[in-house]
Amino acid sequence: MHLFSENLAVEITAYYRNLALGHGVIPKVFTLVNAQGSQYLFFIDHLPLKEDEVDQFLSFIVQEHDAVCYARGTLVILEKADQLIEFAVIDQDDDQAIVCSAQLTRDVDGKPIGLSEFEKILAPKKTIFFGGLFNPVTLSADKADEFESLWDEMRPKILHRTMGI
């Protein structure tokens, strides 16, 4: 497993803890890191795409930026009082993914007030719903142009930084 994958798992746990407890929000998050350590992080909640196009777009971005790993996270509502924040880190060169999950506690008004420690397990990446974004995606020229334009539009709003090696 690439060192960036391990670091990404640690960072996303802190990121979600801050978002949930500090700001009261739990967005769907996507982040990737390339071999040079360049990281991009953005919310996917409001992408102006049809549901079936989101994975195509994310796969396009993973491939365009030569990602070595990526992570995707979300809120999972099992029942109103039983909620989890879950994410998985997918490494290009490893058959195992890092899957992390934490129990979210809300007050009577629905505001997040507690988050357990994230439990980390390894799972076969082929079992992860979005685990195949490294697989080549074939797009029409129009679709590729559409995705490139969307990415260009999003870039000023994306958290971009360099991870330490």
Q: Would the pLDDT of 147 be above 80?
A: yes
Cα separation, 116 vs 47, in Å, equals 29
Backbone φ and ψ of 133, nearest 5°? -70, -10
The residue among 66, 62, 71 whose CA lies nearest residue 28 is 71
Q: Would the pLDDT of 80 be above 90?
A: no
20-37: average pLDDT: 94
Output the pLDDT for position 57: 97
Cα separation, 12 vs 7, in Å, equals 9
Cα separation, 163 vs 165, in Å, equals 6
Which H/E stretch holds residue 152?
A: helix 141-154
Residue 23: pLDDT band (50, 70, 90) is very high
Output the pLDDT for position 165: 55
pTM over 0.85: yes
Cα separation, 12 vs 29, in Å, equals 9
Q: Would the pLDDT of 110 be above 60?
A: yes
Q: Would the pLDDT of 81 be above 90?
A: no
Residue type, 136: P
3-12: average pLDDT: 91
How much is the mean pLDDT over the chain?
93
Residue 61 burial by CB count (10 A; 0-12/13-18/19+): exposed, middle or buried?
buried
Structure tokens at 119: 């439990």
End-to-end CA distance of the chain: 14
Number of domains in the chain: 1
Q: Would the pLDDT of 92 be above 90?
A: yes
Output the pLDDT for position 46: 85
Name the residue range of residue 66's domain.
3-162
Other C-beta atoms lying within 10 Å of the C-beta of residue 9: 21
